[in-house]
């Protein structure tokens, strides 16, 4: 019975087996897999002599030969060429062929680069690293390199949105941004002061290297762990509310973060380090205290109605972000965005129900008051519109009546003018003038009535004069003649005309100067009433309309266009020269200015 080794197809470890009739056909591997010798004995292997990958039977042991070069595939030396390393994901210990390219972890199924792990283990054992780079996860804020001994000439690779900082004896030393660096005394001035490094590439120095992720971590959730008690300024009620939301966070100062938060910790990952979730845990008390105090303070100071708080979410978010960032700055962190996405109100709280009812009643009262005010304004507007409409209708009526009278007068004037022109044409055709014809008719009328024209008194003379006055009055009314037009007639009639003219003038003057008193006395010619002693009233002053040009108006409004009578100009007396009744700004007599 001979012995042989067989490779576990799951973990790659080797187990010992035996040949023979009574030998075990199934072998339990350390990883928990049961190796079936009959089915798992065939495997592939790279020939150490020719480099070809061949299929061979593991149960043949050292007798197994390469079908290409016919050399032994498995020797004692090759069986002892095993490497031991840790899985980078679950940290379990693994033994595998040091010549293997990759290996799958039996516990977490992580595909491991065997050659890379062997090189890392060798460098760690020697205490040296020729290539220093970040090997942590994407959600890690700070990752510590596992090797702490380095030599000058090593290559440091810093990825975009990262910073690498050397840490020694609790002090943050040299800082590197994104790029590839060859470690030398020129770019390690702070380490040079600590170690007094030489320029020899074999010089080894001890330091911790931290890689800091400078990207912004998005969508970190937050929420109050208890209710926020506050005093509603509008209703005077005490209520409790809650709030939740999210924020974004990033590193602004690597040195502050390492000194105040990280300290001497190792890798800070999601499971046991400073990731986004770990950050929330470390700063949870800070965020909660700020949210509670600032939320209640802002609602009170800004007099915000809790029922309308959603309108002020942006304002609350900005205030919270600014207040929290003041504290986070001491740790080298900042929140570029802080969002309050929801404010939870206590709908079952009796005080909150009373608050909603008060707000509803107040809103209803305000609305009713607005409706009453609008109705009053509308009614006032209607009354004003009706008054304006009525005034406009009256004005239109007055203007229409005045316009009708004006049109009638113009028509009568045009008719008389046409008649006069016709008569003038007729008299012109007969060979005498209009004045001659009028004088002739007056003379005939005087002779027919027995008027002698001597101007003597007596009843007969007065009667004749009256008759002639009536006749002349009728003629003047019909022909619209003035005294100037009648002068040729009187000249032609001689003394009769003179007597008649004088008599008419006196009669007209007497009629014009007479007045009637309010006590009933008629045709008074004196300045005072002989019955009651009342003074003769002054005749109303006439004025001319500046709008339409109508003249001699005695009423308060123009009968043609309805324009009101203009106010009388203010008059003043000159104290310098004594001139009175002045309406201009300067005295027309001496030029003195109106005081």
- Output the CA–CA distances (angstroms, integers) from residue 388 to 186, 376, 528, 561, 581, in the order listed: 96, 18, 46, 18, 39
- Output the CA–CA distances (angstroms, integers) from residue 452 to 460, 492, 500, in the order listed: 10, 14, 11
Residue 304 inside a domain? The answer is: yes
Same domain, 320 and 351: no
Q: Determine the Cα–Cα distance for residues 146 and 576; give it in Å rounded to an integer.
A: 114
Same domain, 115 and 55: yes
Give me the pLDDT at residue 358, please: 72
Q: Measuring CA to CA, which residue among 161, 338, 172 is closest to residue 260?
A: 172
Same domain, 239 and 338: yes
What CATH number does the domain containing 225 carry? 3.30.479.30
Q: Please, how many CA atoms are within 13 Å of residue 10, restricted to the half-sphere of its CB?
A: 14
Q: Determine the Cα–Cα distance for residues 203 and 200; give it in Å rounded to an integer.
A: 6
Exposed e or buried b per residue across 355-394, where buried means at least 16 C-beta atoms within 10 angstroms of its C-beta: beebbeeeeeeeeeeeeeeeeeeeeeeeeeeeeeeeeeee
pLDDT in tens, 367-390: 888 888 888 888 888 888 888 877
Give me the pLDDT at residue 164, please: 92
Residue 467 inside a domain? The answer is: yes
Same domain, 308 and 194: no
Same domain, 48 and 85: yes
Domain count, the chain: 5
Residue 87 inside a domain? The answer is: yes
Give me the pLDDT at residue 437, please: 65
Give me the pLDDT at residue 176, please: 92
Give me the pLDDT at residue 336, please: 92
DSSP 130: S
Same domain, 151 and 221: no
Same domain, 197 and 230: no
Residue 261 inside a domain? The answer is: yes
- What is this structure's pTM? 0.42
Give me the pLDDT at residue 321, please: 92
Give me the pLDDT at residue 304, please: 81
Give me the pLDDT at residue 62, please: 74
| Token pair 């002068």: residue | 487
Give me the pLDDT at residue 502, please: 55
Residue 107 inside a domain? The answer is: yes
DSSP 559: T
Residue 136 inside a domain? The answer is: yes
Which helix (H) or strand (E) covers residue 419, if one does? helix 350-430
Give me the pLDDT at residue 78, please: 59
Domain end position, chosen among 513, 547, 577 = 513
Q: Measuring CA to CA, which residue among 225, 227, 237, 223 is closest to residue 307?
A: 237
Give me the pLDDT at residue 489, please: 46
Same domain, 80 and 198: no
Domain end position, chosen among 179, 213, 247 = 213
Same domain, 187 and 232: no
Q: Which domain holds residue 359?
A: 347-410
Residue 76 inside a domain? The answer is: yes
Q: Can you list the residues of the chain whose pLDDT is less than 70?
A: 1, 12, 22, 30, 48-51, 75-82, 91, 97, 99-100, 119-129, 138, 195-203, 233-235, 262-281, 427-513
Same domain, 93 and 26: yes
Domain end position, chosen among 79, 105, 126 = 126
For residue 343, give both structure tokens. Answer: 């404010």
Give me the pLDDT at residue 88, please: 72
Same domain, 98 and 200: no
Same domain, 245 and 338: yes
Residue 28 inside a domain? The answer is: yes
């Amino acid at each position: 019975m001979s012995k042989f080794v067989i490779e576990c197809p799951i973990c790659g470890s080797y187990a010992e087996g035996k040949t023979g009739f009574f030998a075990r056909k199934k072998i339990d591997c350390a990883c928990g897999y049961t190796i079936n010798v009959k089915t798992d004995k065939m495997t592939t292997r790279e020939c150490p002599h020719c480099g070809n990958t061949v299929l061979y039977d593991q149960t043949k042991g050292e007798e197994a030969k390469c079908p290409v070069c016919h050399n032994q595939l498995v020797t004692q030396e090759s069986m002892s060429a095993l490497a031991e390393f840790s899985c980078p994901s679950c940290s379990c210990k693994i033994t595998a062929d040091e010549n293997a390219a990759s290996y799958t972890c039996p516990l977490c199924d992580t595909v491991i680069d065997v050659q890379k792990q062997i090189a890392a283990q060798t460098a760690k054992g020697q205490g040296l690293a020729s290539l220093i780079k970040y090997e942590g996860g994407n959600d890690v804020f700070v990752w510590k390199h596992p090797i702490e001994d380095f030599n000058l000439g090593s290559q440091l690779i810093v990825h975009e949105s990262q910073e690498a900082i050397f840490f020694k004896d609790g002090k943050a030393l040299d800082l590197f941004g994104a790029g590839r660096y060859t470690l030398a005394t020129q770019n390690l001035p702070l380490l040079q002061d600590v170690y007094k490094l030489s320029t020899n590439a074999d010089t080894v120095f001890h330091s911790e290297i931290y890689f800091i992720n400078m990207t912004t971590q998005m969508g970190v959730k937050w929420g109050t762990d208890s209710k926020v008690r506050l005093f509603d300024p509008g209703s005077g009620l005490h209520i409790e509310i809650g709030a939740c939301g999210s924020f974004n966070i990033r590193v602004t100062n690597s040195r502050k973060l390492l000194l105040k938060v990280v300290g001497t910790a190792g890798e800070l990952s999601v499971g046991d380090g400073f990731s986004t979730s770990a950050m929330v845990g470390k700063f949870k008390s800070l965020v909660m205290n700020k949210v509670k105090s600032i939320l209640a303070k802002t609602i009170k100071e800004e007099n915000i109605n809790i029922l309308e708080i959603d309108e002020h979410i942006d304002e609350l978010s900005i205030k919270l972000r600014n207040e929290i960032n003041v504290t986070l700055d001491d740790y080298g962190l900042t929140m570029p965005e802080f969002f309050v996405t929801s404010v939870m109100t206590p709908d079952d709280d009796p005080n909150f129900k009373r608050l909603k009812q008060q707000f509803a009643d107040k809103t209803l009262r305000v609305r009713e008051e607005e409706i009453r005010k609008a109705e009053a304004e509308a009614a006032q507007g209607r009354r004003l519109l009706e008054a304006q409409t009525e005034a406009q209708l009256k004005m239109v009526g007055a203007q229409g009546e005045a316009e009708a009278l004006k049109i009638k007068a113009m028509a009568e004037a045009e008719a008389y003018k046409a008649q006069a022109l016709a008569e003038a044409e007729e008299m012109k055709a007969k060979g005498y003038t209009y004045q001659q014809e009028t004088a002739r008719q007056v003379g005939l009328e005087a002779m027919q009535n027995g008027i002698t024209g001597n101007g003597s008194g007596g009843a007969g003379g007065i009667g004749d004069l009256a008759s002639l006055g009536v006749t002349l009055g009728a003629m003047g009314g019909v022909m619209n003649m003035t005294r100037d037009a009648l002068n040729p007639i009187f000249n032609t009639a001689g003394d009769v005309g003179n007597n008649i003219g004088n008599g008419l003038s006196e009669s007209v003057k007497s009629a014009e100067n007479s007045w009637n008193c309010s006590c009933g006395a008629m045709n008074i010619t004196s300045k005072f009433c002989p019955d009651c002693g009342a003074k003769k009233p002054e005749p109303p002053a006439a004025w001319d309309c500046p709008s339409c040009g109508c003249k001699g108006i005695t009423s308060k409004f123009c009968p043609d266009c309805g324009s009101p009578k203009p106010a009388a100009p203010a008059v003043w007396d000159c104290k310098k020269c004594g001139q009175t009744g002045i309406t201009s700004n300067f005295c027309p007599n001496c030029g003195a200015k109106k005081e």
